[in-house]
Amino acid sequence: MMAVSVRTRTTMKYYFDTEFYEHDDRVEPISIGIVSQDGREFYAEVASVFDVTHMTPWLAKNVAPNMSGDVQTIAQVRQGIINFVDSDSDPEFWAFWGAYDWVVLCQLFGGMLKLPKRWVYKLKEFADLKIRIPEFAGQHNALADARAMYQAVSLAGVTEAGASAK
């Protein structure tokens, strides 16, 4: 009799946020921050075609001062995200009120249907967990927001969608 190998799927949660510029019929990525369930972090600022002279007052006040200026091309950002998530066979993406964040993430790959094949084409909404997010301590950028979601889940002891371990 032949032994059958059973592949165990691992699910890693990824809490992410983006900063973006919305204009006309487009949403332009500015930055993306991702914190994995095991505490690893990814942050990238996108070399975009968006014109900083048309930045909204909110972006100018809250996002621009927290940017490093170390920008990457969309191709570099996309490859960085793939490298960051690559070892996980079943990644799960979480965002806080993340409809636009999901669109921005998908746009970095050329659209949702061009995401890596093993990625689920569904966003999990952090807001549905009804967990209070810690204050941002004055810093507002995509990575700070992703960290806040990760910290909130860690403090609440949430193990599965809404199930508290505490």
Q: Hey, what domains does the chain have and what are their CATH numbers?
A: 11-158 (3.30.420.10)
Nearest to 16 by CA among 144, 116, 122: 144
The percentage of the chain sitting over the pLDDT mark of 90, rounded to a whole number, equals 41
Assess whether pLDDT exceeds 50 at residue 164: no
pLDDT digits (tens, 9 = 90+) for 20-62: 988 777 888 999 999 999 999 999 999 876 666 777 888 888 8
**Pairing relation of β-strands 90-95 and 11-23?**
parallel
Assess whether pLDDT exceeds 90 at residue 149: no
**CB 141, CB 63: distance < 8 Å:** yes
pLDDT at 6: 45
More confident residue, 139 or 82: 82
Nearest to 54 by CA among 31, 22, 26, 100: 22
pLDDT at 162: 47
Give the neighbor-by-neighbor strand order of the sheet with 11-23.
71-72, 41-46, 26-36, 11-23, 90-95, 123-125
Task: Please give the average per-residue pLDDT across 145-166, as a whole number.
Answer: 69
Helix, strand, coil distribution of the chain in percent, nearest 5 = 35, 30, 40
pLDDT at 137: 55
Cα–Cα distance measured from residue 23 to residue 156, given in angstroms and rounded to the nearest whole number: 37
Assess whether pLDDT exceeds 80 at residue 89: no
Q: Is 27 exposed, middle or buried (0-12, 13-18, 19+ CB in 10 A)?
A: middle
pTM as predicted: 0.84
Q: Is 97 exposed, middle or buried (0-12, 13-18, 19+ CB in 10 A)?
A: exposed
